[in-house]
């Protein structure tokens, strides 16, 4: 009887078991590198350094909303491919331009801030970069008041904003 009977003497790299045993750790290394790439290529848009100061500023923001309600400001917003038109009606005189902020709920790098001059009484227009299909918060600010609207550009390109008069 020969000592090599029943034994496969081919080199190790021609055997299936070393490759099967190495496949698990190799897969984990590839998955780890992919997850590291995902983690470092994204943007951390939700974390802010000055959260305390922003928390204190909420009172000023609420007073601006109350001022808009006191003035009885109402209006709407119309988005087009490269522009935004804001219409505001009020009993009080309106400014010659308003500041418009288009704020994405999670990606602060997508936010846009523009000044829109008055193109007709109570109508303001400004050019903007095209918006990605998502929910957007639109703020129109003039002087000591602020109007807020939300629009989902996947479904519509118009929104209403306004403040109702405060109850006496």
* pLDDT score recorded for residue 166: 43
Residue with more model confidence, 166 or 136 = 136
Give the bridge partners for 125, in sequence order.
Answer: 85
* Whether 91 and 152 share a structural domain: yes
Question: DSSP per residue over the chain, as a string?
Answer: --TTTT---S-GGGSHHHHHHHHHHHHHHHHHHHHHHHHHHS--TT--TTHHHHHHTHHHHHHHHHHHHHHT-EEEEEE-SSEEEEEEE-SSPPPSEEEEEEE-SS-GGG-EEEEEEEEETTEEEEE-PPPPSSEEEEEEEETTEEEEEEEETTT-SEEEEE-PPPP-
Question: Is there a domain that residue 29 lies in?
Answer: yes
Backbone phi, then psi, for 153, in 5-degree steps? Answer: -70, -5
| 31 and 83 housed in the same domain | no
Give the number of other CB atoms < 10 A from CB of residue 81.
8
- Does the pLDDT at position 51 exceed 90? no
pLDDT of 114 above 90: yes
137 in a domain, yes or no?
A: yes
Domain membership flag for residue 108: yes
Answer yes or no: do 27 and 80 share one domain.
no
The reported pLDDT for the residue numbered 92 is: 81
In a domain, 1, yes or no: no
Q: Which domain holds residue 28?
A: 12-41
Q: Kindly state whether residues 93 and 134 are assigned to the same domain.
A: yes
Residue 168 has pLDDT above 50, yes or no: no
Judgement on whether residues 19 and 101 belong to the same structural domain of the protein: no
* pLDDT above 70 (res 58): no
Residue whose tokens read 């929104």: 159
Q: What is the pTM of this model?
A: 0.63
Mean pLDDT for all residues in the chain: 84
pLDDT of residue 138: 92
Mean pLDDT, rounded, for 21-45: 90
Query: The CATH number of the domain where 144 resides is what?
Result: 2.60.40.10
Same domain for 36 and 114?
no
- State how many domains the chain has: 2
Whole-number Cα distances in Å, 95 to 123, 140, 141: 11, 11, 10
Q: Lay out the sheet containing 158-162: strands in order across.
A: 145-152, 135-142, 97-103, 112-120, 123-127, 83-89, 74-79, 158-162
The stretch 24-49 carries a mean pLDDT of 85
- 30 and 65: one domain? no
Do 29 and 59 share a domain, yes or no?
A: no
Shared-domain flag, residues 101 and 27 = no
Whether residue 102 sits in one domain with residue 143? yes
Whether 34 and 57 map to the same domain: the answer is no
- When pLDDT is cut at 50, 70 and 90, the band that residue 72 belongs to is confident
Query: Which pLDDT value is given to residue 167?
Result: 43
Mean pLDDT of 108-127: 92
């Amino acid at each position: 009887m020969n000592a090599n009977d029943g034994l496969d003497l081919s080199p190790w790299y021609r055997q299936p078991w070393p490759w099967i045993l190495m496949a698990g750790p190799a897969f984990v290394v590839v998955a780890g590198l992919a997850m590291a790439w995902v983690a470092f290529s994204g943007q951390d848009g939700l974390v802010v350094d000055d959260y305390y100061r922003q928390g204190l500023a909420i009172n000023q923001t609420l007073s601006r909303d109350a001022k808009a309600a006191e003035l009885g400001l109402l209006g709407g917003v119309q988005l087009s491919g490269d522009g935004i038109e804001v219409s505001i009606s009020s009993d009080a005189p309106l400014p010659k331009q308003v500041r418009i902020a288009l704020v994405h709920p999670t990606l602060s790098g997508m936010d846009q801030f523009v000044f829109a001059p008055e193109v007709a009484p109570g109508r303001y227009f400004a050019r903007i970069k095209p918006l990605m299909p998502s929910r957007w918060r639109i703020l129109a600010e003039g002087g000591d008041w602020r109007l807020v609207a939300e629009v989902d550009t996947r479904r519509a390109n118009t929104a209403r904003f306004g403040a109702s008069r405060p109850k006496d």
